[in-house]
Each structure stands twice: as structure tokens, then as C-alpha cells.
């Protein structure tokens, strides 16, 4: 794809500026405890490789959405502390991400040492890809590594602006792995190739579905987006979530995907969106006053048969409201279906809810690749060029 890897750039004696994705969840009560360090752990191979090859390392990331304000609740201090614990050495936190004081700290870094910059998004110029801000960040290193696949679909200063002025650049190990797997799914994939697309809304996945229909042998639909499609086909969907302004596009996709799109044959429905709702399963239209919140057992079996023959599987989006136990069976069953064929199929799971479902089902170890970037993976699967990847060329 035109990018260099860590093995293709000199690291010894360099000061590497690395864009990481440390946008980790923090405990809502104390605002300091990291509730999942997965993204930090995923960055460790790249961090350790750079430090192990005799470079010093300046790490940059965002956390949350501070909208250009300095908010202590979104400080990267907990990340610096956890990263230091995992590395077995102190990782200092800079007081900011640009400026003379930060430049002094970066200049004083010795080989094998790391410095974490404070939250990039404390400055509105980060998301605006401001040239001056990019130049300020670029002064902190003499080689650029992007390991933040989760932000690669954003044209921000740290993902696009910095590499534009720092010609020695490469993809980190995590970025490289993400691109290799998603390239498998979009260029000459193994067959039969089955894509599973779920989630609440069709609007964010129109381009993904359209592109996958040109790539995959079957596309299985689940989640609340099902009901926009079903209403477009003339079915009764009761009080299920429907994007009325997307019915025309749904009809278009139904026509394009005839014979390849598969929809739920039965539905777990409820009379309210709550854990204590009345629940039943129907194999026909959803009656008024009820809403579809999960796929039913007949659909699970149908999808299981299709997945059983697959040699490439891509999954993005849950089959139902799996956060509520009564509507989790479909999502968990699909996760276990994917696990059952993992010995013969390449299995790729998008980030976000899909990753949480895989973890909830306890099958994460069997999946070929679990992405760290929900939005970026969707952009890639839609056929779009990711700005953060294009900037590495």
C-alpha cells in the first residue's frame, strides 16, 4: 500500500515521534482508573521495538473529546502510569504536547527512554490539522511512526500534518497488522467470503454494505438496521427502529444485493426497550406496539449454516441489544459460530461493540484479528483511502 515498516527505517540514535491510540476508557466515578488497557497493550510491541533498537520515543495520543479545552479529567496521566508499569520503566508525562518546555524534555531524552505528551485534543488545532501546530509537534522528533489505526480515518495534525513535514515515516507494528488483515478482506479474499453487518443504523454503513456486496459472497444483516431494510421491502416492523430517510437507499441496496443479502427470518421482540420488558419470538411481521431487539433461533441456525462453509469472515456490529441479557443470545451465538470455523477461516472483527461481544462470548483468542478501530475499519471496508495511511506514503 506504499508505506514503509519499522524494518525499513533507521531507528538507532533517532528520536521517534509516534502517534499511538491511547484513547482508553476511564472509570466514570474517579476519572483516573483505566477500565481496559487493551489499547495500551496493543501498542507495546511497537514501543518496545523502537526503544529496543536504540531510539528515544515521544508518544502522542488523544483521550476523550475535550474540544480544545484543558480538562484534568481527560489527562493522559493514568496512561503514562500504566504504560510505565507494563514497560517496567518510568514514562514521564509532558505538561503539554507543544511548546519550549516540551521541546526541552524531548531533547533531553536518552536512547531507550520514552516521553508521553499530554492530550493532543487539549488544542483545537489538532483536529483542524493546523500547519503551525503540526510543525510544533514535528520539532519533537526526527522520524515519524503511526501506530494509531483507530484514528487513521481522521486528517488531523498528528496523523497527517506531522508526516507531511517529517519525510522519514513508517507504520508501526499494530498499524501494519491492521492494514494487512483488512487488505485481505478487500483484495483477493479467500472464498467463500461472508460479511456480517449489524448495529443500530444503516446510515453509517451504506458505503460498507455497498462495497461488501461487490466483494463478499454473502452479507448477513442483523441489529436494528434490519428493520429499515424490512420496511423498505414492505414488511410490517411495528415500533422497531427505522430510519425513514434511508428507506430509498435501503431499497437500492436490496436490489443490488439480491441473492447475496441475508436477513433475519425470526425476531426476538419486546414491548419496551428495557430489561424488564415482555419478550417473545415471532417468525413473521413485528406487531404494532412491539420492537425487534435481537435475531431469533431460526436466524441463528440459518446464519450458522452459511458461516460453516466460510473461509473469510468479517464482522462489524452486534445482532441485537446485547448489553441487555434478554437480547444478547443472537450476538453471542454469532461470536461462537465464528469461533467454530476459526481453524479454517480468516476471521476479522471490527472494533467497538463487535469487540465487546467477542470478549463477552469468551472467544477472543480464536479470532484471527480483532481491530482497534471501529470507524477506521468501516472506512477501509467501504473502499475509502484512510488519510493517516496515505500520509505514510
**Residues tagged active-site:** 39, 201, 352, 375
Please give the Cα distance from 115 to 60 (Å, whole number): 9
Please give the Cα distance from 135 to 152 (Å, whole number): 19
Beta-carbon contacts of residue 156 (< 8 Å; ≥ 6 apart) = 120, 126, 127, 129
Please give the Cα distance from 181 to 128 (Å, whole number): 30
192-214 as b/e: b if 16+ CB within 10 A: bbbbbbbbbebeebbebbbbbbe
3-state secondary structure of 146: strand
Spatial contact of 103 and 140, defined as CB atoms under 8 Å apart: yes
Q: Pairing mode, if any, of strands 279-282 and 267-270?
A: antiparallel
10-41 as b/e: b if 16+ CB within 10 A: ebeebbbbbbbbbbbebeeeeeeebeebbbbe
For residue 346, the surrounding DSSP H or E stretch is strand 346-349
How far, in whole angstroms, is CA 371 from its chain's centroid?
5
Please give the Cα distance from 319 to 200 (Å, whole number): 9
What is the radius of gyration, based on Cα positions, of the chain?
Answer: 23
Amino acid at each position: 500500500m506504499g508505506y514503509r515498516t519499522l524494518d525499513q527505517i533507521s531507528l538507532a540514535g533517532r528520536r521517534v515521534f509516534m502517534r499511538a491510540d491511547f484513547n482508553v476508557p476511564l472509570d466514570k466515578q474517579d476519572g483516573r482508573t483505566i477500565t481496559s488497557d487493551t489499547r495500551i497493550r496493543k501498542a507495546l510491541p511497537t514501543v518496545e521495538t523502537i526503544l529496543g533498537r536504540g531510539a528515544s520515543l515521544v508518544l502522542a495520543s488523544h483521550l476523550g473529546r475535550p474540544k480544545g479545552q484543558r480538562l484534568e479529567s481527560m489527562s493522559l496521566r493514568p496512561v503514562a502510569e500504566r504504560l510505565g508499569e507494563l514497560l517496567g520503566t518510568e514514562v514521564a508525562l509532558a505538561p503539554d504536547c507543544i511548546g519550549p518546555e516540551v521541546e526541552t524534555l524531548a531533547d533531553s531524552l536518552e536512547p531507550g527512554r520514552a516521553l508521553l505528551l499530554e492530550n493532543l485534543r487539549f488544542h483545537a488545532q489538532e483536529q483542524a490539522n493546523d500547519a503551525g501546530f503540526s510543525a510544533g509537534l514535528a520539532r519533537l522528533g526526527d522520524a515519524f511512526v503511526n501506530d494509531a489505526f483507530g484514528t487513521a480515518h481522521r486528517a488531523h495534525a498528528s496523523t497527517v500534518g506531522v508526516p507531511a513535514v517529517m519525510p522519514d515515516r513508517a507504520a508501526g507494528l499494530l498499524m501494519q497488522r491492521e492494514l494487512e488483515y483488512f487488505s485481505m478482506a478487500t483484495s483477493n479474499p479467500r472464498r467463500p467470503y461472508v460479511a456480517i453487518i449489524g448495529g443500530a443504523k444503516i446510515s453509517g454503513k451504506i458505503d460498507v454494505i455497498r462495497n461488501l456486496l461487490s466483494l463478499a459472497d454473502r452479507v448477513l444483516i442483523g441489529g436494528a438496521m434490519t428493520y429499515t431494510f424490512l420496511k423498505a421491502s414492505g414488511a410490517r416492523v411495528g415500533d422497531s427502529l427505522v430510519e425513514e430517510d434511508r428507506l430509498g437507499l435501503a431499497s437500492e441496496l436490496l436490489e443490488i444485493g439480491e441473492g447475496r443479502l441475508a436477513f433475519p427470518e425470526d425476531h426476538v421482540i419486546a414491548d419496551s426497550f428495557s430489561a424488564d420488558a415482555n419478550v417473545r419470538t415471532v417468525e413473521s411481521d413485528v406487531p404494532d406496539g412491539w420492537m425487534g431487539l435481537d435475531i431469533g433461533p431460526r436466524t441463528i441456525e440459518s446464519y450458522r449454516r452459511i458461516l460453516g462453509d466460510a473461509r473469510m469472515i468479517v464482522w462489524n456490529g452486534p445482532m441485537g441489544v446485547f448489553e441487555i441479557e434478554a437480547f444478547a443470545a443472537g450476538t453471542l451465538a454469532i461470536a461462537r459460530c465464528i469461533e467454530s470455523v476459526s481453524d479454517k477461516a480468516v476471521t476479522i472483527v471490527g472494533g467497538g461493540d463487535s469487540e465487546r461481544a467477542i470478549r463477552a462470548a469468551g472467544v477472543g483468542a480464536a479470532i484471527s484479528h480483532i481491530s482497534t478501530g471501529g470507524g477506521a475499519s468501516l472506512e477501509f471496508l467501504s473502499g475509502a483511502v484512510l488519510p493517516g495511511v496515505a500520509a505514510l506514503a
